Amino acid sequence: MMLTFEDIIEAHKRIKGYILRTPLLRVPALDKKLGCKVYLKPENLQFTGSFKLRGATNRLLVLSDEQKKNGVVCASSGNHAQGVACAAQRLGIDAVIVMPTNCNPVKLNGAKQFGATVILEGVLSSEREAKADEFSEKELKTLIHPYDDIYVRAGQGTIGIEILEDEPELDFVVVPIGGGGLISGVSTAVKTINPQIKVIGVEPEGARRYGVSREAGKPIWLKSVNTIADGTRTDHANDMSFLIIENFVDELVSVDDESIILAMKESVSTAKLISEPSSVMVIAAAMNGKLSVKPDDKVCFVISGGNNDLSLLSEVIKS
């Protein structure tokens, strides 16, 4: 099913009492370095430290009584895991989470602390997705996909509504891309409300599944992924996310790991925000001059999460 703006409006009403309406921060201290008037949407301040709580909550709230009784299962590199675990705990639903063996320990502990059963499986998204599918089939648990689900996409799209409620006169919205659910929802909301706003997606150079897919004219699978941005380690482009991106996203750019590290330091030192590698890709793109923005442009950068591997964050700050 194609995501509609009406789906996002309904999600906005549905999850209102369960999520934090994060502020839109005007950060003049970053203007010169990023080349525009900077606004940050800090989803790192969300209850689970990531935007993923929105989509997970919206999906679980529409489960039938029988589905709630049987429980849910999801595959995730970490932030969706915490979102599902948190929403499930609040609603009294059993949750099984399949995470990669190389997952961020902070995200792993977060999922466990919300009471979920965690299983570690492989390092590729396709490996953990296969394990989650197995649980869904054998134990009749409802699969809560991190992005290939209309309710999940709609939940993420509520970010777009909030951004434009706070600043209707934006010129650009810049969004990090992992599996594609966040940019699918945000771009649908933003372009429906104001088609003149340009939406730019940012990927890591080590996992350019949508950039390569756009070049090929169809969704593709990557042979491998290699990036510090653990929340973006997805090895394939999703069909529906690809279609939405083609319809609503004006431009796709990519950044390397070195730029991501520099952006993490900038986020801490200048914006005073603790942001994880996947989320600061948007800042890295601007610092590298990869965005076609001007000094007077109002640009919103979506900071998707702040669940850092603390040992990595310590190394980055010391470097």
pLDDT-above-70 percentage for the chain: 100
Coil, helix or strand at residue 290: coil
Q: Domain boundary residue among 143, 160, 188? A: 143
Average pLDDT estimate for 6-25: 98
Q: Which residue has the higher pLDDT, 204 or 107?
A: 204
Residue 95 has pLDDT above 90, yes or no: yes
Q: How many independent structural domains does the chain possess?
A: 2
Which residues are bridge partners to 99 per DSSP?
120
Q: Domain boundary residue among 143, 176, 193? A: 143
Q: Domain boundary residue among 123, 143, 163? A: 143
Both 172 and 239 in a single domain?
yes
CA-CA distance, 81 to 142, in Å (whole number)? Answer: 14
Residue 310 has pLDDT above 90, yes or no: no
Average pLDDT estimate for 101-119: 89
Whether the CB-CB separation of 249 and 183 falls below 8 Å is answered with yes
| Cβ-proximal residues to 69 (8 Å cutoff; 6+ apart), any chain | none
Catalytic residues: 52, 304
Average pLDDT estimate for 72-84: 91
CA 107 to each of CA 22, 26, 64, 112, 125: distance values in angstroms, whole numbers, following the listed order: 20, 28, 28, 9, 16
Phi, psi of 148 (to 5 degrees): -90, 60
Residue 142: pLDDT band with limits 50, 70, 90: very high
Both 298 and 177 in a single domain?
yes
Both 206 and 313 in a single domain?
yes
Both 157 and 73 in a single domain?
no
CATH number at residue 33: 3.40.50.1100
Residue 170 has pLDDT above 80, yes or no: yes
Q: Which domain holds residue 241?
A: 5-45+150-318
Both 231 and 257 in a single domain?
yes
The confidence score (pLDDT) of residue 305 equals: 96
Q: Per-residue pLDDT tens for 202-246?
A: 999 999 999 999 999 999 999 999 999 988 988 899 999 999 999
Query: b/e map of 164-198 (b: 16 or more CB within 10 Å)?
Result: bebeeebbbbbbbbbbbbbbbbbbbbbbbbeeebb
The confidence score (pLDDT) of residue 102 equals: 87
Residue 125 has pLDDT above 80, yes or no: no
Residue 89: pLDDT band with limits 50, 70, 90: very high
Kindly report the average pLDDT of the chain as a whole number: 95
The confidence score (pLDDT) of residue 316 equals: 86
Both 198 and 313 in a single domain?
yes
Both 190 and 290 in a single domain?
yes
Coil, helix or strand at residue 253: strand
Both 287 and 169 in a single domain?
yes
Both 158 and 25 in a single domain?
yes
Coil, helix or strand at residue 221: strand
Both 303 and 171 in a single domain?
yes
Both 41 and 57 in a single domain?
no
The confidence score (pLDDT) of residue 140 equals: 94
Q: Per-residue pLDDT tens for 37-56?
A: 999 999 999 999 999 999 99
Going by C-alpha positions, the residue among 139, 180, 141 that lies closest to residue 157 is 180
Both 182 and 56 in a single domain?
no
49 conformational bin, left if phi > 0, alpha if psi -120 to 50, beta if neither: left
Average pLDDT estimate for 293-316: 93
Average pLDDT estimate for 127-150: 93
Coil, helix or strand at residue 48: coil
